[in-house]
Amino acid sequence: MEGTKETLRAELSNSLAEVLESMAFMEAVPAESPYERPSPEHWVTLLIHEPVQGEFRMQMSQQMLENIAESIYGLLGEGMTAQVLDDTLAEMINTVAGHFLNKALPEEQIYQLGLPELGQGTSPLAEEAALVCDFSIESKLLRVIASGEGLLNLGE
């Protein structure tokens, strides 16, 4: 995939939209208003080691994460454990990153990802040189960030 940061933004948006549609049957559209950090905020980071270095990050509210997990697993109430929420978030970032890299890298290029790191509370701030995409899903906001010079240079 050749292009600019706007091309990368479009591909990242497309990756999230396709993943949410296939995993959770939910529609993600670009947000009309900027992401505001919810309390509590759930976040996950995923490092890319090869063939470029970079990081993907996803941030969302507890309610947004519960809605996605409920849609994927059909769980309600007591079935919605912290482990289910963590697994949902980790699987989402892995799938979005894989989808994006499959589109951005040459065909059959092998890539190496780290393990997802999960957290609650205020997530680490994005680097200035980051691609930030805010989405609205059923009137709730979600943020996806791609950072790292190698990753962002895929668009050049």
* Superfamily the domain 5-155 falls into: CheC-like (3.40.1550.10)
Instruction: Report DSSP letters for 3-66, one per residue.
Output: --HHHHHHHHHHHHHHHHHHHH----EE-SS-----SSEEEEEEEEEESS-EEEEEEEEHHHHH
For the question of whether the overall pTM of this predicted structure is more than 0.75, the answer is yes
At residue 153 the predicted structure's pLDDT band, cuts being 50, 70 and 90, is confident
100 confidence band (pLDDT: 50, 70, 90) = very high
Mean pLDDT of the chain: 85
pLDDT-based confidence at residue 155 (cuts at 50, 70, 90): low
Domain ranges of the chain: 5-155
pLDDT at 156: 60
Mean pLDDT for the stretch of residues 55-77: 87
Q: Report pLDDT digits (tens) over 14-60.
A: 999 999 888 888 888 778 877 777 677 899 999 999 999 999 999 99
- CA end-to-end distance (rounded Å), the chain: 9
Q: What is the pLDDT of residue 1?
A: 41
